[in-house]
Structure formats: structure tokens, C-alpha cells
Amino acid sequence: MGKCFSSSTGFSKETGRTGQVSTPSNLVFTSSNQKGAQRLPIPRSEGEILSSSNLKAFSFVELANATINFRPDNLLGQGGFGHVFKGWLDGNTLGAAKPGSEMVVAVKKLRPEGWQGHKEWLTEVNHLGRLHHPNLVKLYGYCLDGEHRLLVYEFMQKGSLENHLFRRGSKSLSWTLRIKVAIEAARGLTFLHESKVIYRDLKTSNILLDAEFNAKLSDFGLAKEGPTGDKSHVSTQVMGTEGYAAPEYIATGHLTAKSDVYSFGVVLLELLTGRHALDKSKVGIEQFLVEWAKPYMGDKRKLFRIMDTALEGQYSQKGAYMAAVVALQCLRTKVTSRPNMTEVLASLEKIQSPKNTANQTPSEVQALPSPISKSPIRGHPSPPNLTPNGSPHQSGLHSPNGRGA
């Protein structure tokens, strides 16, 4: 969906790890702490989705008043979806309020042209209208008024993870905050998978941070219901962002929860290295973060070579190696060999334990047992091919700096 929301920033602070699914009263809630969450019946028609969403239906006039008629100085960001504006609502009634008072929100305004935009708008209402978790951005309501289609979210004060990692002039995130963000993003993704939803567009611009740097997944326009019955995957048009999409999905259009796991591995690698998943300003293999970094990720003695220099060495070497191993497991080419998100989350949470947070000397890091087998490509350049068919670029994907940036 419109990736302009990556620059919007949090109003409400949610605590706890339990997630809920808001549904009609005859359906049960699910939790991120429950195993094997049941797939919910999904409304098929637009009318059913909107009527069962438990969201407020705003009029266009209400949102125009809330944003002071979409005044340019209230613009938070823009992208393929349209524009995002800062607005103010009454915290109790969700009616328009005066600027600087009451509740701050982010109002995403769809470009009027294009069926695909409407489809993704409806998908976002469908998912965020019923899925609630501390690590998913909160959707307060929507507007379907004539040709106008808008979405109203909580305001995320610290903006996107992408900006904190890559924007020039931004203060570098500490090691502790990077692991915190990784864990919280993993919690949100775990909840989605337990709710039988595949996110399909995990990337740093879709991870938003509130005032306390709590991470929340945003932008669900590309999300899909997972496979049902004895099906192993969902067949769909390839959509997503270059550098993040799993190679088997690009090659076949077969979408599974493990496709999200691959994307999470890319994001985790970006947190470790401070490099973009795809950087066409670089030459050769260095354009492709995964292929460039793989030879170093499983080697305790070489990992420091790819760590973000902005950290200035202020990180737990043991914790960094543990995180690199998790990322490498997520990035395995064989889909069935990748861990699920529950396993990924458990591994990342171990990094926060006191014994894994202190800095170690190089000799102590070398003494760590390796939890993965020795890579035959270690120390050798990885092939630049992103996909099984040998092409790192696919027309079905968009550039990180294009529609979805």
C-alpha cells in the first residue's frame, strides 16, 4: 500500500505482549501467546468487511477538519498510495479537535485514481480492523466518501526504522535499541502468522517507532490470508520490494509464512550492518546486502567486518553473533530449513539476557560454539543471483525507493 506512511510518526502507547483479533461476537479472540491460532472466517464483500471491522467510519469533512483541510504544513509524508497528514481527534468521540490538543493521528489519503489502490485500502481495513497487538500500528477508522478513501492511524512520533538507520544526520540507534526493535517486530510478525496472515511487505520503512521506540508493523495493503486445509502455499501475483522478497516467492509466486521469515532476516541484517537491502549506488555484489554479507555472518572472527561502523564498536559481540546466526537461518534458500517466527522470536529474546549483552573480547567470541554448520562459501564471494533463475531483478517487485519506499 502507500509507503508514504513510513515517514509518519506514535500517539498511543500500548503495553503487554498479548494480541487480539477484533471480530463479530460469534468469533473468538486469538493471542500471540497461543499456539496454533485458528484462522478466522474472512468477509468476502466490501460491505461485509466494512461492517465487521469495528472501526469508525469518518466522513471526508470530518477528516478535512481534523487536518485543517489537509494543510501542506501538516504533511507527514507521501508515496505511491498518496499523502499522509497530521491530524487531531477527540480522544473519546474521535471527532475533529483543535491542533495541539487532544489526540494526534496520521491520516493517509488515497490517490483518487487506480483500482489497485482501492483494493489495498480495503485489505488494510480488513486486517487492521480485526487484528490488534501492541506491535501492530493501530487503525482508528477509515473514510469511504464518494471518490475519497482515507485511513486514520495512531501517530508514531519517531517515524520509521528506515529513517533512523539510513537518513543522513539521524542519530544512530544504539545496539540495545536495535535488538529491542528486532524483537518487537518479531512479536508482531509472530502474531500475524498465528492469525494465519502473511504480511508480504516487511521492510524497515514499514516498521514504525513511537515516542519510547516501541516498534510496530504498519502498512497491510499487501497482506494475504495464509493457505488453508492441506495447501502448502498461496499462489499470488509477485508483489513486494526488491531486496526483501524471498527468492522462491519471486521465482514461483508461491507465498508462505516462510516468505516473511526471509524478509525478517533481511531486516535483521540491515540492523546489524547499517546497510540497505539493495543499494544500486554500490558496485557488483555489494549492491545486494544478503549476498555480500553471507560469507561473514556465520564466522565469529569475521562478523565485525560487516557490523555497522556507526555503532563505533559499542555492541555485544556475543549478541551480535547470535543475531547474525538467526538472520542467516532466516535467509536459508531451502524454505523448509528456515525457522518459523516463534523460533526466531525465542532466539532473539535470548540476546537480551544479561550474559549476552556485555561486550566480549575477540578471544571470548572465538570460543563461542557455532550453532550452525560451517558454510562451504565462507571466505568466498557469494554469487550475485537473488533468485533461483539467476536474476536479481524482477518486474513484479518495486524498488525500495519507488512505489513502496
pLDDT digits (tens, 9 = 90+) for 316-342: 999 999 999 999 999 999 999 999 999
Considering the domain boundaries, does residue 389 fall inside one?
no
Considering the domain boundaries, does residue 252 fall inside one?
yes
* pLDDT for residue 359: 58
Considering the domain boundaries, does residue 397 fall inside one?
no
Q: Calculate ∠ Cα 139-145-151, nearest 5°.
A: 15
Would you list which residues are annotated within the binding site for ATP? Answer: 109
Would you list which residues are annotated within the binding site? Answer: 109
The answer on 236 and 127 residing in a single domain is no
Domain count for the chain, please give it: 2
Confirm if 141 and 60 have CB atoms less than 8 A apart.
no
Residue 108 sits in a domain whose CATH number is: 3.30.200.20
Task: Verify whether residue 201 is a known catalytic residue.
Answer: yes
pLDDT band at 314 (very low <50, low <70, confident <90, very high): very high
Domain with 139, as residue range(s), is 3-154
Last residue of a domain, one of 112, 133, 154: 154
Given a cut of 80, whether residue 67 has pLDDT beyond it is yes
% of the chain residues with pLDDT over 90? 58
Task: Name the 3-class secondary structure at 268.
Answer: helix
Considering the domain boundaries, does residue 219 fall inside one?
no
Task: Name the 3-class secondary structure at 32.
Answer: coil
From the centroid of its chain, how far is CA 81?
17
Q: Which of 90, 145, 201, 210 is catalytic?
A: 201
The answer on 245 and 338 residing in a single domain is yes
Considering the domain boundaries, does residue 381 fall inside one?
no
**Helix residue ranges per DSSP H, 174-299:** 175-194, 247-252, 257-273, 289-297
The answer on 355 and 243 residing in a single domain is yes
- At residue 273, φ and ψ (nearest 5 deg) are -100, -25
Over residues 72-93, the mean pLDDT reads: 89
Residue 353 sits in a domain whose CATH number is: 1.10.510.10
Given a cut of 60, whether residue 1 has pLDDT beyond it is no
pLDDT band at 34 (very low <50, low <70, confident <90, very high): very low
pLDDT band at 13 (very low <50, low <70, confident <90, very high): very low
The answer on 147 and 11 residing in a single domain is yes
Over residues 193-212, the mean pLDDT reads: 96
